[in-house]
Amino acid sequence: MATIPYRPVRTHAPTRKQVNFGINVAQRGLWREAIYRWEKAVELDPTYAAAFNDLAIAYEHEGQLDKARKAYEKALEIEPNNTEIKQNFELFKEINDRTGSAKDKE
């Protein structure tokens, strides 16, 4: 599973606040709160690929694999040449497609 790296946020202040808070709580293992923050972030700025990537990682961690796949796909739609997102999605597919467990726990 991918990890959430620290990176400067290049978007407007309210989105930046949500993303940074999400990173902080994810690093402490509070994944549901991180999901909430990143969902708010992509609602505020639906063009911010890194927030979709972070959201995908959190969904994956929580076993919400269909949502993770959709978030990775959205992130790559926005930034198709982003190496970090590509690597995370490839790892996700390698692990989950091989095991055939691409269903949500929901």
CA separation for the pair 54, 4 (Å, rounded): 6
Checking if the pLDDT of 60 tops 70, the result is yes
Domains and their CATH numbers in the chain: 13-99 (1.25.40.10)
C-alpha 97: how far from chain center? 18
pLDDT value for 104: 45
pLDDT band at 98 (very low <50, low <70, confident <90, very high): confident
Contacts of 11 (CB under 8 A, 6+ apart): 19, 45, 48, 51
2 has a pLDDT exceeding 90? no
Report the alpha-carbon distance of residue 32 to residue 22 in Å, rounded.
9
pLDDT digits (tens, 9 = 90+) for 32-46: 999 999 999 999 999
Residue 106's pLDDT band (cuts 50, 70, 90):
very low
Give the per-residue pLDDT at 29: 95
Whole-angstrom CA distances from 17 to 22, 28, 39, 81 are 9, 17, 12, 25
Task: Give the pLDDT score at 100.
Answer: 62
Residue 13, pLDDT score: 86
Average pLDDT in the 22-37 region? 96
Determine the average pLDDT of the residues in 85-99: 91
